[in-house]
Amino acid sequence: MKIGFIGLGNMGGPMAANLAKEGHDVLGFDMASVTIAGVSMAGSAAEAATGADVVITMLPNGQILRAVAAEVLPAMQAGAALVDCSTVDVDSARAVAEQATAADLLFVDAPVSGGIGGAAGGTLTFMAGGSAAAFAKAEPLFDIMGQKAVHCGEAGAGQAAKICNNMILGVTMIATCEAFALADKLGLDRQKMFDVVSTSSGYSWTMNAYCPAPGVGPQSPADNDYKPGFAAELMLKDLRLSQQAAESADADTPMGELAQALYSKFVESEDGLGMDFSAMLPRFEKRGRS
């Protein structure tokens, strides 16, 4: 395929490189000056989109997605697909989907899970929203960039799945860190705590696969001074998106709301900026009950 790829940062760059490695003709654009193996560079987003079978975007937020869509949709050929892999608000995804449909174009919102390592290794998971035809057009590219793609429903469903998943992730990480801090104060050895919880009803991804305690469980950012695999500020972004969606849908999400407040304090008032989201554990270690 001829692919336009807009947004070639830490995630988009490796994804575009993997597509080029598989023989696709990839024309990229980024506001920064970047060089990506196998990817030719365009002078604008519209130029990258012109004549493309599929245009992929990986952008910071919904406002930027809307602005880029306004530029690229008029440049795209009828029947082409716009595949947005950013994590944005559901309303922005649905608004761009409506614009694409009106222009006789296909649209897929396909946020990803797997982080920078997954982007480089081609092992991302895609949560996709859009029509069956749109998903079918994008699926061969998902197979190159990732290991799994789930068609979650119509436009916006991919973003809905991502923010619901990450709301669970944020809440669960806080609970896991709280439990380790409590275990410390009760004199319970961390390894013993892991051995029990990881095989009991407290089992979770944050405990078993991404343990926030250094030296316990599989290798995780906790074993690398909490250098981010998934930065705390990105978790805060996703929690804010979940609460924006909850307000729009009139959904009661008290745990998600509290998790957002805690990560907001951690990132903006404490020392969480630039740390992994599991660095909540040393935060709780230092605190007493208040």
* Active site members: 162
Read off the tokens for 24: 């696709």
Terminal C-alpha separation, the chain: 58
71: exposed, middle or buried (C-beta count within 10 Å: 0-12, 13-18, 19+)? middle
The answer to whether the CB of 12 falls within 8 A of the CB of 31 is no
Kind and range of the H or E element at 150?
strand 146-153
Give DSSP secondary structure letters for 228-266: -SSBHHHHHHHHHHHHHHHHHHT---HHHHHHHHHHHHH
- SS3 call for 77: coil
- SS3 call for 147: strand
Nearest to 149 by CA among 167, 164, 129, 168: 129
Residues near 114 by Cβ (< 8 Å), separated by ≥ 6? Answer: 123, 124, 125, 146
The answer to whether the CB of 149 falls within 8 A of the CB of 143 is yes
